[in-house]
Structure 1
Amino acid sequence: MNWLTSLPAVVLVVGGLLVAFLVAAVARVGVRALVPVVEQDRVPQIATPLMPTLGACFAIFAALTLAGEASDLRAANVLVSDEAAAASRLAWAATSPGVQPEPIHAALMDYLQTTRVREWHGAAAASGGDPATARAIARLERSVRSETARSEVGTPASTELVTSLDSVTSSRRARVAAASREVSALYVVTLVVSGLALIVNAGALVFRSSLRTSLLIVGVASVVGLSLALLFALSAPWSGPFIVSGHPLDDIIDDLKSGFFHGGP
C-alpha cells in the first residue's frame, strides 16, 4: 500500500472522488439492470432503513481511523522536535570548559544535514540503514567520545556530553521506528468496504429517479471519496503528501553555522 500513500494529495483527492462517483453511477445503473422488474418496488423499502446504519458505520470507522492517523502525524512532529532539542543540548554541552567544541559541532552538523537529505523521505526514512547517515553517526560518536577521554574534560562535562549524545541517537531511533509504521490493512479494507456499501445503497435509492434527482447522491459519494483520500494522505508522514516538518533540525543547523552555540550572533 506504500505506492498509494505516497501519491500527491491532488492525485489522491481526484482519484478518490472519481472512484466514488463511478461506484455511485454503477450502483444506480446496476440495480436497474440486475433487479427483476417485479422486485424493483422492494428496493427502496430495503435500502432506506439501511442508510442510517451504513452511514453510522462509515462515520465511526472514518472518525477512528482518521483521528488515529492525525494523532500519529502530530506524534511524528513531536519526535522531530525532541531530536532537535537533543541536538541542541549536545551542541551546548560541547561548549563546556575544557571541551573543544569544533570537532563535535562539525560532526553534529554533518549528521543533521545528512539526515535531512538522505533519511527524510521514502524507504530510507523507515529503514534507518542509509550508509551516509551511518557514517555521520559514527563520526559524531567518535568525536564526542574522543573529547570525553581527554583528561582536561571533567566528569560533569563528560557525563553531559555522553548523555546528550545518547539522547540524539535515541531520538533518531524513535523517529525511524515511527517512520516504519504503516496503517493496518484491515482498517483500510473495513473503511473502504463500508464507504462503498454506503454509496451503493444510496445509488439503489435513486435508481428510478431522473438524472438530476440522482445527483443528490453526489454529496454522499464526495464525503466518502474525500475521507478515503485524507486517510491515505495522513498514513505516511515520511513518504506521503504530508511530510513531517524538518524545520526544527534545520534551525539547529543554521545555529551551528552562525556560531550561535559559541555565543556568536
Structure 2
Amino acid sequence: MTWLTSLPAVVLVAGGLVLALLATLGGRLAVRALVPATEREAAYTIAAPLMAALGALFALFMGLTLASEASFLASAQGIVSNEAADASRLAWAATSPGVDTAPIQSALLDYLQATRSNEWSGVAAANGEDPATVHALANLENTVRAQAARTVIGTPASTELLASLDALTSDRRDRLAAASHQLPVFYVVVLVLAGVALIVNASALTLRSGRRSALLTGSLASVIGLSLALLFALGTPWRGAITVSGQPIDAVTQGLNTGYFTP
C-alpha cells in the first residue's frame, strides 16, 4: 500500500478521476448487458432505495477515515514540533555556566541536519536505520553525557542536559513510529468496493434516461475518485503527497548556524 500512498498528488488525483469515470462507464455498460430491457423497471425500483443506503455507508466510512487520517497528520506535526522544541531546549542547556557549549551544539547541528537529509522521507523515515543519522545521534549522546558527567557544572545543569537529550531521543522514537503508519489494506479495499457499488447503483438509476442524463453519474464518480485520492495522499505523513513540515527542525538548525543559541 505504501507504493500507492507515495505517489505524487497529481498522479493520485488523475488516477482517482480516471478510475472513477471508468467505473461509471463500465457500470452502465454492465447493467445494460446484464439486465434485460423487460426487467429494467424492476431494477430501477430496487436501485432507488439502495442509493440512500449505499451513499450513507460510503460517506460514513470515508468521512471517518479522512477525519482520522487528518487528525493523525496533525498529531505527526505535533511530534515534529516537540522534537524541535526539545532540540532548542538542549541547545540552550548547553549554554549553562561551566558547560563546554561548542561540542554539544556542533553535535546537535550534525544530528538535525542528518535527520532532515537522510531520515525525513522514504523507507528511512520509518525504520530509522540510516547510518549517518545513527552515527550523528550516537555522537550527540556521547558528547552530552560526557559534559553532564563533569562535576564542575553542577547538578542542575547536568540534569537539564540529560533531560533535554532524553526528551529529544524519545521524540525521535515517536517520529519513527508515526512514520511507519500505513493504511490497512483490507479497510481500503472495503472503501473502494463501497465506492464502486455506489457508482454502479447510480448507473442503474440512469437506465431509463438518455446518455446526457447518465453523464450526471460522472459527478458522483468524480467526488468518490477525489475522496480516495485525498485519502491516499494523507495515508503516509512522511512518504505521501501530503507530508509533515520540517520547518520547526529547520528553524533550530538555522539558529545553531547563526549563533542564536549563545551564552
Q: Same fold (TM over 0.5)?
A: yes
Aligned residues: 263
Aligned to 1:64: 64
Aligned to 2:94: 94
CA distance in 2, matches of 1:189, 1:33: 26
Q: What is the DSSP-based 3-state SS (H/G/I as helix, E as strand, rest coil) of the residue aligned with 1:79?
A: helix
Deviation, structure 1 residue 220:
0.8
Aligned to 2:138: 138
Deviation, structure 1 residue 67:
0.3
Q: What is the DSSP-based 3-state SS (H/G/I as helix, E as strand, rest coil) of the residue aligned with 2:153?
A: coil
Alignment of 1:1-265 (within 5 A): 1-262=1-262
CA distance in 2, matches of 1:151, 1:192: 63
TM-score normalised to structure 1 length: 0.97
1:61-113 deviations in Å (ceiling 9; x for gaps): 00100000000000000000000000000000000000010000000000000
Structure 1: segments with no counterpart, 5+ residues: none
1:96-134 deviations in Å (ceiling 9; x for gaps): 000010000000000000000000001100001111110
Structure 2: segments with no counterpart, 5+ residues: none
> Could you tell me whether the CA contact under 8 Å between 1:179 and 1:238 is conserved in 2?
yes
Tell me which amino acid in the other structure corresponds to 2:134.
Answer: A
1:133-181 deviations in Å (ceiling 9; x for gaps): 1000000011101111223211111111000000110000000000011
> Could you tell me whether the CA contact under 8 Å between 2:76 and 2:178 is conserved in 1?
yes
Tell me which amino acid in the other structure corresponds to 2:74.
Answer: R
Tell me which amino acid in the other structure corresponds to 1:237.
Answer: P
> Could you tell me whether the CA contact under 8 Å between 2:89 and 2:164 is conserved in 1?
yes
CA distance in 2, matches of 1:100, 1:260: 16
Deviation, structure 1 residue 41:
2.1
1:200-258 deviations in Å (ceiling 9; x for gaps): 10011113422111111111101100100000000011011112100000000000011
Identical-residue share of aligned pairs (%)? 59
Q: Which runs of 4+ in 1 moved over 6 A?
A: none
> Could you tell me whether the CA contact under 8 Å between 1:29 and 1:207 is conserved in 2?
no
Tell me which amino acid in the other structure corresponds to 1:248.
Answer: P
